């Protein structure tokens, strides 16, 4: 963070709110010319501060309206079993986020599917096929109150 100045932070904030914003518009808003903005963005990308640009899609319009948080506990905790679980879980399209957590569970999965029937199929035919899962506890989202992809800076 020491290598970022206030101008870099302004640029990052603008890109977080709209990754489709043009360099010309960023330059106008931060009171620089286009070339220095372009160079700063390239430096931020090269430095790993900007990992990628994405489009946020409407889940409902794509018929993927059920969001489930699934807490997973493994039967055993060895390095190989942990790596195997991570490799298998990251290959499942329905799992859009996976966190290794502390507490009563080992992993927290965010799963997006069409409906309850699709989730049941996911649990039985995909999650259920992964070895060494001791338990899985599901929490179903009734409505999204806040969703943000912004990192507070």
Q: What's the pLDDT score for residue 3? A: 87
In a domain, 95, yes or no: yes
Residue-wise pLDDT tens digits, 90-100: 999 999 999 99
Global confidence as pTM: 0.88
Residue 66 near residue 114 (C-beta atoms within 8 A): yes
Q: Domain check: are 76 and 107 in the same one? A: yes
Q: What's the pLDDT score for residue 142? A: 97
Q: What's the pLDDT score for residue 153? A: 92
Q: Domain check: are 78 and 117 in the same one? A: yes
DSSP letter at 85 equals: H
Listed in sequence order, the residues at least 6 apart from 92 whose beta carbon sits closer than 8 Å to its beta carbon are 122, 126, 127
Q: Domain check: are 97 and 127 in the same one? A: yes
Residue-wise pLDDT tens digits, 65-101: 999 999 999 999 999 999 999 999 999 999 999 999 9
Domain that holds residue 129: 66-140
Q: Domain check: are 41 and 85 in the same one? A: no
Q: Domain check: are 134 and 72 in the same one? A: yes
Asked whether residue 1 carries a pLDDT value surpassing 90, the answer given is no
In a domain, 98, yes or no: yes
**Distance in angstroms (rounded) separating the CA atoms of residues 119 and 6:** 45
Q: Domain check: are 75 and 135 in the same one? A: yes
Q: Domain check: are 82 and 128 in the same one? A: yes
Per-position b or e across 114-152, b if 16+ CB within 10 A of its CB: beeebbeebbeebbeebebbeebeeeeeeeeeeeeeeee
In a domain, 123, yes or no: yes
Residue-wise pLDDT tens digits, 6-61: 999 999 999 999 999 999 999 999 999 999 999 999 999 999 999 999 999 999 99
Domain with residue 24: its CATH number is: 1.10.10.10
In a domain, 60, yes or no: no
In a domain, 152, yes or no: no
């Amino acid at each position: 963070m020491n290598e970022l100045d206030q101008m870099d932070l302004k640029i990052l904030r603008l890109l977080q709110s709209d990754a489709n914003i043009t360099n010309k518009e960023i330059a106008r808003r931060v009171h620089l010319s286009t070339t220095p903005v372009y160079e700063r963005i390239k430096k931020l990308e090269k430095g790993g501060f900007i990992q990628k640009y994405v489009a946020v899609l409407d889940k409902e319009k794509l018929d993927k309206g059920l969001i489930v948080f699934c807490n997973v506990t493994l039967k055993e905790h060895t390095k190989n079993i942990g790596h195997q679980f991570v490799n298998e879980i990251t290959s499942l399209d329905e799992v859009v986020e996976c966190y290794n957590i502390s507490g009563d569970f080992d992993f927290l999965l965010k799963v997006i599917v069409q409906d309850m029937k699709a989730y049941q199929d996911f649990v039985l035919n995909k999650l259920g096929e992964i070895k060494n899962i001791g338990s899985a506890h599901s929490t179903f989202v009734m409505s999204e109150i806040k969703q943000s992809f912004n990192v507070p800076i």
